[in-house]
Chains A and B, each alone.
Chain A
Amino acid sequence: MDWLSAVSLDGLAAVDFRWLGLVLELILMPLIAFVVGLGLVLMLRKIAARLQRRVGPPLLQPLWDIIKLHAKETQTSHGLIHEIGIVMAIGGYVAAVTLLPVPGMNGLAAQGGLIALLYMTMIPSLGLALGVGQCANPNGSIGISRALTAMLAYDVPMVIVIFGVAFHFGSLNLVYLIAAQQAGGIATWGIVQMPLLALAGLFALQGMLGKQPFEIYVAPAEIATGPMVEMGGKFLGGLFVMQCFQLYTAGVLYVALFLGGGENWLTFLFKVFVVTAIPMTIAMVFPRYRTEDMVRLFWKWPTMIGLLGIAFVMN
């Protein structure tokens, strides 16, 4: 911004223009997240298709889906909260994305930290609960109660993992975490230093993305996709956008915690796509667990593995 300070008057020379860069980052980061998220959705559908020996959707299929849903000519709204719920669902992830550092852009990551990020990733579920509540569809209510129970289940190992990583590096600042991992090469990556926590994190990731076997709250054949049952047109379109952000957030968070973030965009995107491909590949070979079995599983195995990992970290 040298030329700006050069043309400004002497009195204004001291004005700081760095906030302009920050605003640009806050606009760019969600946009990039959305585009990468579209790619992740396409990859998931392609993996599912390949595992079922199908060809799968064409390249721009996720984009066509979203355009088509927003272009519906009649929209069935069930009231104001229904619409605000969808805005909260997307908004929570947009806020979360600005807290995740990507190569070249830190956004609010240094100011926010892991705790704020954890809060932000919970807002979409709550927003969805509000929106679904106003639809007054019994299938939706059952679905969202299961989704919130699932959140309760996977958040216990998730918090343990995040606490363990923060304790290991002695910081809650994601920018510092990534810098510390990148400084020492692969040997200092979270996954090498804390393999047990990385394993527990992978469990939590499966639950966070709601993939089989932890997919009971969607259950299309049983409760007609649960929370999404009354969502048509722009509402479903909003949820498709949310799914893009959700996959991106989960993938980037795991990469930042355990795989040393991204040195450049190439390695960063490669890591994100690989990490997100793991839950999808596991999902396609599983049926789904019931809610109580899911809670039992999450509070037993990943929690135990995570606690063991913390014991190693604290030594």
Chain B
Amino acid sequence: MTHIDQVPTPGAPRPVEIGVKPGTKRTNPFARVFDELVRFAQSRSLFMLHYCTGCGAVELPPAMTSRFDMERLGIQPMVSPRQADILLITGYVSVKTLKRVILTYEQMNSPKYVIGICSCTVNGGMYWQSYATAKKLNDYMPVDIYIAGCMPRPEAVIEGLRGLIENIRTGRADAWKDYYRRYDHYLGNQQRLFGADWQTPTDVIAEARHYDLFGPATLGAHTALLEQHQRPLEALEMRIEIPELMRRRSRSDQGGTAQ
């Protein structure tokens, strides 16, 4: 196992141009119409997975229920990362929580958007001096919109969501592509925090290859480190544990040894 000191420090993020690759310009005039329709539908229908880690979660029920009613904007809560579009991080993320947040984020289907609510996700907030808290959320995954405040009022939450809707409609909310294009940067920060043998079940590099989202900074020193430790995922052993059956089996085992 590699010691934590052997993990190279990620440098300053290199700017990567995001957009349609040159040479793939579309000539079909209806393609643009179709894209705009899709973008409009995407902005008007957002399924939200709220990862309620901190106090900001308190502000969501009023935003969702009769007082402010998010469903007017087409936003509704969902319960599984596969179904969701928005990952809502409400409050501080401890190192342990951040692992789960990253697993959840990688399981979501793109296009996916991350919203950081409360100042704790922006810069650590009042947990700045804590040894167990991740300070800046966008070191570990691309964040589309921060809603600052401690805690932001439901009006501010709705305002932030409206901003995201506008970004999606105009095609500017493509931070999720950044996770594929600069995976090395994000993985490096994750390795600094969780240790060199950090590995998630989702193969981000393979996904980047498959969906043609490979960027110049997808591979690097940190992905090389990941490849050293990466174990292929195996299906979990299927086992039915019925207490009565197991007790009987252990009893017969004991009987066998007594003879």
Contacts and interface: CB of A to CB of B under 8 A. Distances in A.
Contacts of A293: none
Interface string A59-80: 0110111011101111110000
B124 to A, nearest CB: 31
Interface in A64-118: 64-65, 67-69, 71-76
Nearest to B236: A136
A232 interface: yes
Contacts of A57: 71-72, 74
Given A53-B66, A64-B41, A76-B109, A58 B72 contact: yes
Interface stretch (B15-23, B75-83, B154-162, B248-256): B75-83
Contact of A73 (B37, B82, B211): B211
A228 interface: yes
A152 interface: no
A55 B83 contact: no
A288 B110 CA distance: 33
A45 interface: yes
Interface in B83-132: 83, 85, 107-111
A49 interface: yes
Given A74-B207, A75-B109, A232-B109, A224 B42 contact: no
B42 A73 contact: no
A195 interface: no
A232 B38 contact: no
B110 A54 contact: no
A72 B109 contact: yes
A68 B66 contact: no
Contacts of B37: 67
A69 B107 CA distance: 15
B235 A55 contact: no
Contacts of A75: 109
Contacts of A302: none
B66 A52 contact: yes
A221 B66 contact: no
Contacts of B66: 52-54
A124 B235 CA distance: 28
Interface string A211-236: 00000000011001100111111001
Given A229-B82, A236-B83, A49 B110 contact: no
B65 interface: yes
Contacts of B110: 72-74
A138 to B, nearest CB: 10
B45 interface: yes
B65 A52 contact: yes
B74 A61 contact: yes
Nearest to B66: A53
Given A71-B41, A73-B211, A49 B71 contact: yes
A72 B111 contact: yes
B44 interface: yes
A7 B38 CA distance: 46
Interface in B7-64: 37-38, 40-42, 44-45
A224 B80 contact: yes
A77 to B, nearest CB: 11
A225 B38 CA distance: 26
A30 interface: no
A308 B246 CA distance: 47
A230 B71 contact: no
A54 B107 CA distance: 32
B139 interface: no
B83 to A, nearest CB: 5
B44 A61 contact: yes
Nearest to B238: A136
B74 A233 contact: no
Interface string A242-258: 00000000000000000
B197 interface: no
Contacts of B71: 45, 49, 54-57, 61
Contacts of A49: 69, 71
User: A67, A68, A233: which has the most chain B beta carbons within 10 Å?
Assistant: A68
A229 B80 contact: yes
B82 A230 contact: yes
Given A49-B69, A71-B41, A228-B83, 20 more contacts: A49-B71, A55-B72, A58-B44, A61-B45, A61-B74, A63-B41, A64-B40, A64-B45, A67-B38, A68-B85, A71-B42, A72-B110, A72-B111, A73-B109, A73-B211, A76-B107, A221-B79, A225-B83, A231-B83, A233-B82
Interface of B: 37-38, 40-42, 44-45, 65-66, 69, 71-72, 74, 78-83, 85, 107-111, 207, 211, 235
Interface of A: 45, 49, 52-58, 60-61, 63-65, 67-69, 71-76, 136, 220-221, 224-225, 228-233, 236
25 contacts: A45-B71, A49-B71, A56-B72, A57-B72, A60-B44, A61-B45, A61-B71, A63-B41, A64-B44, A64-B74, A65-B74, A68-B41, A71-B38, A71-B42, A72-B110, A73-B110, A75-B109, A76-B82, A224-B80, A225-B79, A229-B82, A230-B80, A231-B83, A232-B108, A236-B83
